[in-house]
Amino acid sequence: MKKDNRIFEILISNRQIKKGIKKTAKWLNKEYEGKTPVIIGILKGCIPFIGQISTLLNFDFELDFMSASSFKGGTKGSNDIQISLDLKTNIKGKDVIILEDIIDTARTLKKIIELLKNRNPSSIRLVTLLDKKEGRKVELDADYSCFTIPNKFIVGFGLDYKEIMRNYNFIGCLKPEYIEKERSNNL
């Protein structure tokens, strides 16, 4: 991937991401052998993660998506969580796996899980590519986290800064001066 001068450092390389996803797929293959769960991707950050992991899964599964956001496009979270796209699949009596790009405050997932539990699935498990444990504002643990990361704002492999930079094949930290410059341009 071409070097981007808005990136300060690469936190997780493409090679490391691939390795982490392989390990996660192995865990899922063991846990869901012989079952047909519904995998729910939380848009839009889950797209590269789902794209890569789905080709490594050996069991049958249905795939559906939800969209919710607690971020208003910048680097600060917000309390106001909106569900903007709901499932088409009826999950009653089914095993559900939520695939998320990152858990930070966990407010988004908490809300999604509450909503899904009311629909009486047989089980719900949460799998995340990245876990920013220090960012938690509500209590919630993933059943499987690929990588635990420090409390820094990151971009790439599905994660955005103001809707761009999702396309990097690595996960990197943005230069603080880039964010500052953006802020002053918007004043």
Residues that bind ligand IMP (CB under 6 A): 45, 70-71, 77, 101-109, 153-155, 159-160
Residue whose C-alpha is closest to residue 161's, from 67, 73, 69, 44: 73
Task: State yes or no: is 101 an active-site residue.
Answer: no
Integer Cα distance of 63 and 47 in angstroms: 12
Q: Which three-class secondary structure state does DSSP give residue 2?
A: coil
CB of 92 to ligand IMP, least distance (A): 26
Nearer to Mg ion, 67 or 89 (CB): 67
Binding partner of residue 105 among Mg ion, ligand IMP, none, CB cut-off 5 to 8 Å per kind: ligand IMP
| Residue closer to ligand IMP, measured from CB, 32 or 39 | 39
* Phi/psi of residue 183, nearest 5 degrees: -60, -45
Q: How far is the CB of 77 from ligand IMP (least distance, A)?
A: 5
Least spacing, CB of residue 105 vs ligand IMP, in Å: 3
Answer with the entry of ligand IMP, Mg ion, none that 102 interacts with (C-beta below 5 to 8 A by kind).
Answer: ligand IMP
Residues composing the chain: 187
How far apart, in whole angstroms, are the C-alpha atoms of residue 104 and residue 83? 17
Q: Which is nearer to ligand IMP, 32 or 161 (CB)?
A: 161
Which of residues 108 and 145 has its CB atom nearest to Mg ion in the complex? Answer: 108
Of the residues 95, 101, 104, 131, which is catalytic? 104
Note the residues at the interface with Mg ion (CB under 5 A).
Answer: 71, 160
Closest contact distance (angstroms) between CB of 103 and ligand IMP is 5
Widest Cα–Cα separation across the chain: 56
Phi, psi at residue 145, to the nearest 5°? -115, 130
The CA-atom distances, in angstroms, between 66 and each of 1, 60, 123, 125 are: 29, 20, 18, 15
Specify the pairing of strand 144-148 against strand 95-103: unpaired
> Out of Mg ion, ligand IMP, none, which partner does residue 165 contact, by CB within 5 to 8 A per kind?
none
- Contact criterion met (CB below 8 Å) for 68 and 83: yes
Residues tagged active-site: 104
